Amino acid sequence: MDEKERSDTKEEEGTEIWSPKTDLGRRVQQGEITDIDEILDSGMPIMEPQIVETLLPNLSEEVINVRRVQRTLDSGRRMRFSIMAVVGDKNGHVGVGIDKGVEAGPTIKKAITRAKLNIIKVKRGCSSWECGCKEAHSVPFLVKGKAGSVEVILKPAPKGVGLVAGDNAKIILDLAGIRDVWVFSRGHSRTIINQVLAIYDALKKLSKFKTDVKASAIKGRPKKKNGS
């Protein structure tokens, strides 16, 4: 089957053909970049969800919150949906996205797309004094996250404890690849959106403590030395 026939087959099946619009997307499609951590460590923004789909083919998707929002206008009340979605490969990568729209179906797709564009790398480890397995199953150190009035604390837990957290927190932690952790929260923790965003904020902070000497390699320029 030649390239034209494959293209026609994809169109018949309803699969959209990806035509990269960014240099990063073209490099991923051409196979120059095969590891998403190379992109995340460099700090380059991901502008196309297909980049994440290509480099993380086993990505899972979860819709956490669906709520209706009303706006009162001169013409009457207008109903819209506000949807939060989370994506992750259960192996150290997770993203959160929120979108609003008139119809639920398209809004869910947009929220998932936003979550893919917000994908982050989650540092994991084993640092509980009760555990010495040296496997990447928990958070490497105590970390705090905040969103609105909600503040959460993620504390390393020994292997076998599981996710000691609320149901919504468990979803994002599981998709991030964390298997054991203690979660303490305060504030209006019943607010689902702020609860999940606070967890997401804490997970982002885990990757701030790193020693990465290859962060500038993907950008095509050498890293400057002190005093140069």
pLDDT tens for 128-137 read 888 888 889 9
Give the architecture (CATH level 2) of 17-121: 2-Layer Sandwich (3.30)
Over pLDDT 70: what percentage of the chain? 85
Radius of gyration for the alpha carbons in the chain, expressed in angstroms and rounded = 20
Question: Among the listed ranges 7-11, 144-148, 175-179, which one has the minimum average pLDDT value?
Answer: 7-11
Overall average pLDDT of the 100-111 stretch = 93
Overall average pLDDT of the 101-114 stretch = 94
With a cut of 90, say whether residue 189 has pLDDT above it. no
At which residue do the structure tokens 């809004």 appear?
A: 107
Distant-in-sequence, close-in-space partners of 136: CB < 8 Å, separation ≥ 6: 92, 124, 125, 126, 177
With a cut of 70, say whether residue 225 has pLDDT above it. no
pLDDT given for residue 131 in this prediction: 86
Q: What is the mean pLDDT of the chain?
A: 85
- Per-residue pLDDT of 5-16, as tens digits, reads 444 444 444 457
With a cut of 60, say whether residue 139 has pLDDT above it. yes
Instruction: Note the residue count of the chain.
Output: 228
Q: Model-level pTM?
A: 0.82
Overall average pLDDT of the 120-130 stretch = 90
Continuous segment of H or E residues that includes residue 86: strand 76-88
Pair 95, 123: CB distance under 8 Å: no
Overall average pLDDT of the 98-109 stretch = 93
With a cut of 70, say whether residue 212 has pLDDT above it. no
Continuous segment of H or E residues that includes residue 146: strand 143-147
Question: Among the listed ranges 12-21, 38-47, 156-165, which one has the minimum average pLDDT value?
Answer: 12-21
With a cut of 80, say whether residue 220 has pLDDT above it. no
Pair 96, 200: CB distance under 8 Å: yes
Overall average pLDDT of the 107-115 stretch = 96
pLDDT given for residue 228 in this prediction: 44
pLDDT given for residue 87 in this prediction: 97
Which stretches of 135-208 are DSSP H helices?
167-176, 192-206
With a cut of 60, say whether residue 102 has pLDDT above it. yes
pLDDT given for residue 15 in this prediction: 57
